[in-house]
Amino acid sequence: MADDEDFPSSSDVEEPEDADCYLSDQYDDNAENVLQYLEDGRQEDCNWSVSSVITRESLLAAQKEDLRKIMELLALSEQHARTLLIHYRWDVERIFELLDQKGKDKLFSEAGVTNLENKINHSLSSFNPFTCSICFEDVSCSVITEMECGHCYCNECWTEHFIVKINDGQSRRIRCMAPKCNAICDEAIVRSLVSARDPDIAERFERVLLESYIEDNDKVKWCPSVPHCGNAIRVMGDIYCEVECTCGMQFCFRCLSEAHSPCSCLMWELWVKKCQDESETVNWITVNTKPCPKCHKPVEKNGGCNLVACICGQAFCWLCGGATGRDHTWSTITGHSCGRFKEDRVKRIESARRELDRYMHYHNRYKAHTDSLKQESNLKETILGKIAISENKDSRIKDYSWVMNGLNRLFRSRRVLSYSYPFAFYMFGDELFKDEMTPQETDLKQNLFEDQQQQLESNVEKLSMLLESDFQEFSDEEVMENMKHVINLSSVIDRLCKQMYLCIENELLYPLQRATHNIAPYKSKGPERASEHSSRFTKATNEDIDVQHGSAVNASGSPSPAKRLSQFQPSSSSDGKHGCSSTKRAKNEGSLDTPLFDLNMPAEVVDKSWT
Amino acid sequence: MFDTSRVQKEVVEFNRDTAISGVSIALYDGAGGADLTHLCGTISGPVGTPYEGGIFVIDIQLPSGYPFEPPKMQFVTRVWHPNISSQNGAICLDILKDQWSPALTLKTALLSLQALLSTPAPDDPQDAVVAQQYLRDYRKFLGTARHWTETFAKSASVGFDEKVKKLVEMGFPEDIVRSVLEGVKGDENMALEKLCSG
């Protein structure tokens, strides 16, 4: 199947003489380039991140690793290790760092952990009878409890204190009752005293302690699915990434909204708000239809491709509304530069009107691509039907996985394209970066960006069109031809996406002086699908990785084994900078000297059909 | 839920050394009334501060979780202080919020308030206007604080009947209040002390 993610070997993706069909740049493939790419990939993964799913069942196991590290290093009991980790937000590296800076005693006392080495032992029976200084009652020494910090009160008062704190949502940090005593109460004592009075509250306490790993941890977040799937996602490395939960939810790990790269989280937030506000004034017709350039009737789009035909017979481009030829050929769209926002056309219009126009321009294109994406999802069913017919045909071509690969490429690039419009809206608008760039600079950068966006767009449309062809009725030669085109286009598009991201990261966002906008890096395979949590994580051998990898594979893709290996390597380093959300990332040094190999492409497909 | 026995013990313990501590506490309702959740505290202004000579009345509400939840305290007497609202008497003091401990008592809380009067913390203000004045023009601050003490916190400025009314509102029988107040020559503070000590 297409999803096997076989490691590409020494196969050629395309015939050299065919290459010029779609490419302006020189493009050649060989095994060396593949290796080169993998190396580049490793470099490029300075923004590496690897995600795993934590279910209710694996929540305990997931935190064991961190607990164990702290327990071993500091010779602590599990509950003390937990107290320490809760206080320092489960940041093991930070604890190690602070241990160096502050020393053990300070580290412990700030977190409310009693250093047992300093404890003075005395017998409780020496106080008999004991006057509890909370309720002022005289009680027998059998119903009093001394906390590790040495403070002693009657069990009734302790229990009442614990229950008040648990109900107040402070289960994770229940301090001793003594004034100015910072010590955190022994969780075993809390558990036993509270469960004797109210087992439900004790259970809540237990759950909150367990969920601290998610709630108090910058690297673990609940999956935002509604209704909630019960899972949380843990990300190791860069938190600016997009992940997919096992429930199928794809989201931005940073802001928990839908995956929106190459928009930054702030841009996306502003965009969503703007779209909501504007939709009240812009009615359904203007959003969903375009007037036909000939008969001026509103036309609604019902197919994936952006070449639309009105019932009057006029064909036009859905993006700009301009009349085009009727033919479904690429040449009619080639050179079609409608994605470019023409500044001069609106210069005369007053500024409010101009802003609306500007918004409409980007919104229309954003909407057009997201709508196309939805309609192309329906295409999947149709294509599966066509594949079934083709496979039963009397033909020497049996493998049609290239169609699905092409389709997946189409989905991913369509997403990138649609989110690139809100990105451009904010990048080149006045709202966010007015003081960062001179108008000349903005123009220059806008041209640079739009050039790439345009290239990507026209290739995506071509691919969309190709995939809609009725290949099940083609002769073998035509199918081969079609396949070649699809495969070529897919790799071109992947490369263009990557190029556009490099432009965004290095040319547009990196030079910003005041604002910091980090975006989730481009992933050839779409948002990373989080693997099931494995407690053997750090001890993972190659086999382990393969096992994990095998279980996580699905159609929407997960990193190839090689990519994963490279992601695992930095996990032992204590490089704190990626975890810090406010800092600017290093410049992406990924180079484009070597063409990208579409890892989506099973090697044997090409081998088989070419020989 | 509400621990009446602890509050009763606290009140008894409280007024043993009122004269020395300069703080006292009283129940609002009549002597027979059992409402221990609403109390009235008084603190005398610390010597050497613009609050010197003033008697400050504090309204104390005890939540049902007391002493495991902090008491709610508010100045009834108007006071000019960076950590106390000049509008409604709300207090910004850590032990009345997250630093409360069940081992603290009403007495320790009132003593902390007294300490707050002598050592304001203008960097963590409740009343921004007062805090600004404190930081920018300390002399003017002293003047205003002293003036407010004179105007609002000195019993001499209050008429006899008003004092009676105030003490009756605190829950003491009117005839006893009148006789006690006359005995101490109208000193409301002394009267309150006498009334509390029974």
- Strand, helix or coil at A96? helix
Smallest Cβ–Cβ distance between B103 and the set A160, A164, A179 belongs to A179
Please say if the pLDDT value at position B166 is more than 50.
Answer: yes
Please say if the pLDDT value at position A450 is more than 90.
Answer: yes
Domain membership of residue B64 (yes or no) is yes
Residue A94: Cβ-neighbour burial (10 angstroms; 0-12, 13-18, 19+): middle
Please write the tens of the pLDDT for every residue from A319-357. Answer: 777 776 655 544 444 445 565 555 544 444 456 667 777
Please write the tens of the pLDDT for every residue from A502-519. Answer: 999 888 888 888 778 888
pLDDT band at A25 (very low <50, low <70, confident <90, very high): very low
Nearest to B58 by CA among B110, B6, B103, B135: B110
Scored b (16 or more CB within 10 A) or e, A403-424 reads bbbbbbbbbbbbbbbbbbbbbb
B132: CATH = 3.10.110.10
Calpha distance A86→A282 (Å, rounded): 49
Q: Does B95 touch chain A (CB under 8 A)?
A: yes
Q: Does A193 touch chain B (CB under 8 A)?
A: no
Domain membership of residue B104 (yes or no) is yes
- What average pLDDT does the segment A22-28 reach? 40
Cis peptide before B71 (omega within 30 of 0): no
Domain membership of residue B185 (yes or no) is no
Domain membership of residue B51 (yes or no) is yes
B114, B73 Cβ separation under 8 angstroms: no
Domain membership of residue B176 (yes or no) is no
Told to judge if A305 belongs to the known catalytic residues of this protein, a careful annotator would answer yes
pLDDT: which is higher, A401 or B157: A401
Q: How many domains does chain B have?
A: 1
Domain membership of residue B182 (yes or no) is no
Residue among A135, A165, A190 with most chain B CBs within 10 A, to mutate? A135
Please say if the pLDDT value at position B142 is more than 80.
Answer: yes
| For the ranges A425-429, A590-594, B1-5, B180-184, the one whose mean pLDDT is highest | A425-429
Bridge-based pairing state of the strands A220-222 and A232-237: antiparallel
Calpha distance A71→A67 (Å, rounded): 6
B-chain CB neighbours of A161 within 8 Å are: 68, 102
The pLDDT, as a whole number, for residue A446 is 92
Q: Do B65 and A178 touch (CB under 8 A)?
A: no
Please say if the pLDDT value at position A571 is more than 50.
Answer: no
- What average pLDDT does the segment A531-538 reach? 57
Domain membership of residue B140 (yes or no) is yes
Please say if the pLDDT value at position A303 is more than 80.
Answer: no
- What average pLDDT does the segment A170-189 reach? 91
Q: To the nearest whole angstrom, how far is the Cα of B1 from the nearest Cα of chain A?
A: 9
Percent of chain A with pLDDT over 90: 23
pLDDT band at A117 (very low <50, low <70, confident <90, very high): low
The domain containing residue B85 runs over which residues? 4-153
DSSP codes joined into one string, B150-196: HHHS-GGGS-HHHHHHHHHHTT--HHHHHHHHHHTTT-HHHHHHHHH
B79, B148 Cβ separation under 8 angstroms: yes
- What average pLDDT does the segment A103-118 reach? 83
pLDDT band at A521 (very low <50, low <70, confident <90, very high): confident
Q: Which residue, chain included where needed, has tokens 């909630």?
A: A228
Smallest Cβ–Cβ distance between B104 and the set A136, A153, A179 belongs to A179
Calpha distance B104→B101 (Å, rounded): 5
The pLDDT, as a whole number, for residue A493 is 94
Please write the tens of the pLDDT for every residue from A259-276. Answer: 998 999 889 988 888 887
pLDDT band at B171 (very low <50, low <70, confident <90, very high): confident
Least confident span in A190-194, A473-477, B100-104: A473-477
Could you give all domains of chain A from N- to C-terminal order, each with its CATH number?
Answer: 286-519 (1.20.120.1750)
pLDDT: which is higher, A170 or A277: A170
- What average pLDDT does the segment B170-178 reach? 81
Q: How far is CA A555 from the centre of its chain?
A: 17
Q: Does B111 touch chain A (CB under 8 A)?
A: no
Please say if the pLDDT value at position A44 is more than 60.
Answer: no
Helix A59-74 with A92-102: angle, nearest 10 deg: 20
B105, B117 Cβ separation under 8 angstroms: no
Would you name the residues of B annotated as active-site residues?
92
The one-letter amino acid code at B86 reads S
Q: Do B6 and A135 touch (CB under 8 A)?
A: yes
Sheet holding A49-54, edge to edge: A220-222, A232-237, A49-54, A531-532
Instruction: Return the sign of the alpha-carbon dihedral for residues B71, B72, B76, B82.
Output: positive
Nearest to A80 by CA among A19, A147, A140: A147
Domain membership of residue B99 (yes or no) is yes
Computed over every residue of chain A, the mean pLDDT equals 75
Smallest Cβ–Cβ distance between B103 and the set A134, A137, A160 belongs to A134
pLDDT band at A105 (very low <50, low <70, confident <90, very high): confident
DSSP codes joined into one string, A6-56: PPP-S--SS-GGGGGGT-SS-----HHHHHHHHHHHHHHGGG-EEEEEE-T
Least confident span in A114-123, A201-210, B82-91: A114-123
The pLDDT, as a whole number, for residue A421 is 94
Smallest Cβ–Cβ distance between A177 and the set B69, B102, B108 belongs to B102
- What average pLDDT does the segment A444-450 reach? 92
- Strand, helix or coil at A571? helix
pLDDT: which is higher, A415 or A583: A415
> 3-class secondary structure for B42-62?
EEECCCCCCCCCCEEEEEEEC
Please write the tens of the pLDDT for every residue from B103-133. Answer: 999 999 999 999 999 998 888 788 888 888 9
Q: How many CB pairs under 8 A join A and B?
A: 37
pLDDT band at A317 (very low <50, low <70, confident <90, very high): confident
Calpha distance A331→A340 (Å, rounded): 18
Complex prediction ipTM:
0.75
A192, A215 Cβ separation under 8 angstroms: no
pLDDT band at A546 (very low <50, low <70, confident <90, very high): very low
Least confident span in A417-421, A546-550, B48-52, B95-99: A546-550
